[in-house]
Amino acid sequence: MISEQLEKIREEAIRQISQSEGLDKLNEIRVSVLGKKGELTGILKSMKDVAPEDRPKVGQLVNETREAIEKVLEETKAKMEAAARDAKLKAEVIDVTLPAKKNKVGHNHPNNVALEELERIFIGMGYEVAEGPEVERDYYNFEALNIPADHPAKDEQDTFYISGDILLRTQTSSTQVHEMEKGKLPIKMIAPGRVFRADEVDATHSPSFHQVEGLVIDKDVTFADLKGTLAEFAKQLFGPDTKTKFRPHHFPFTEPSAEMDVSCFKCGGKGCRFCKGEGWIEILGCGMVHPHVLEMSGIDPNEYTGFAFGVGLERIALLKYEIDDMRLLYENDIRFLNQF
Ligand code: DAH
């Protein structure tokens, strides 16, 4: 009897399904029972032996059996998939209560903190930030700045020569020449950068340090502009009560030249250990750009005048953050840097 055969196929299939482990096995069962060459299909093929009036009934039975087996197959498959998902999630469990590892992060260098402050101040006064090469020709570092080959100032700045007239710049003043040569006037720029001198390392010297150069060239620029600008700069950098004092000095590329002192921001000018009892602290060199320097770079000194200044960046950082040894700035010890 076909109905008994069908019943047997169904029971056997369900038994196999209940014992199967894994989706592959399940698929094998599906093929062997419901596939083209499967048992159930075999029964359909033998329909020709069934009496025509019984065929609809048998057909319906076969369909019911197929549906019953398919239903169990689907349910089992869904269970297996759910179990696999659970297992995967379990394996991926993270213990969020575990203490975290702390990442070590770096810290802004006092030089950079000071530079950002300087740039902020001058950009606020309408200056642009320029840059020049660290490897220079003698011409840009010396000659075009009114320091001819036999000038004694050349001795003061022990120069690292690379070859012939190629050298490591001893001062950012060389960027003044590059900016003037561009031929675009007026100029109002600062140029921060690294400079090099054959100096022994000690608490106040290093063979490589940083300067910030300033240059303003326009019609009718006077020494009063220089004084006003730098006095305002000192107030913004060291506090609104800061006084400034200009002492005559000599630089080959400026005439007249001066050094600027600020009133000691520790004692307010009374004199203390910080300012070595002076009440004043020297912070930069400056002056009116020498007419000969303007001329050499193609600017007519009868039409244009200008002022320039040069600040030691390390010096500002040491003063502002009260660091007493320049070597600390180059060791990059994070315990030191973290304090700024
Ligand atoms: N270049 C000078 C130095 O390294 C500093 C300096 C002084 C720059 C006066 C200037 C200036 O622009 O006007 O000692």
pLDDT in tens, 230-256: 999 999 999 999 999 999 999 999 999
Q: Please report whether residue 17 resides in a domain.
A: yes
Confidence bin at 59 (pLDDT 50/70/90): confident
What CATH number does the domain containing 151 carry? 3.30.930.10
Residues 65 and 165 in one domain: no
Please state the rounded mean pLDDT for residues 258-263.
97
Residue 140 alpha carbon to ligand 1 centre in Å: 14
**Is the pLDDT assigned to residue 135 strictly greater than 80?**
yes
| Of 194, 309, 316, best ligand 1 pocket probe by most atoms within 8 Å of the beta carbon | 309
Contact between 269 and 154 under an 8 Å Cβ cutoff? The reply is no
Task: Tell whether 131 and 25 lie within a shared domain.
Answer: no
| Residues framing ligand 1 (Cβ under 6 A) | 171, 173, 213, 251, 254, 285-287, 308-310
User: DSSP secondary structure string, 7-23?
Assistant: HHHHHHHHHHHHH--SH
* Number of C-beta neighbours around residue 62 at 10 A: 19
Residue nearest to atom 8 of ligand 1 (CA): 310
Calculate the CA dihedral of residues 313, 315, 317, 320 and round it to 10 degrees: -130
Residue at a domain's end among 91, 124, 143: 91
Please give the Cα distance from 295 to 288 (Å, whole number).
14
Is residue 235 included in any domain, yes or no?
yes
72 plus 192 within the same structural domain = no
Looking at 91, 126, 141, the residue that finishes a domain is 91
Q: What is the pLDDT of residue 43?
A: 82
Find the domain containing 79 and state its range. Answer: 2-91
Tens digits of residue pLDDT in 287-336: 999 999 999 999 999 999 999 999 999 999 999 899 989 999 999 888 89
Residue nearest (by alpha carbon) to ligand 1 atom 7: 285
Distance between CA atoms of residues 203 and 189, nearest Å:
31
- Examine the pLDDT at 179 and tell me if it is beyond 80: yes
Say whether pLDDT at 162 is over 90.
yes
The model's pTM = 0.72
Given pLDDT bands bounded at 50, 70 and 90, which one contains residue 151?
A: confident
Statement to judge: residues 83 and 124 lie in one domain: no
pLDDT at 22: 86
Give a yes or no: residue 300 inside a domain.
Answer: yes
How many domains would you assign to the chain?
A: 2
What is the structure's pLDDT at 156?
A: 67
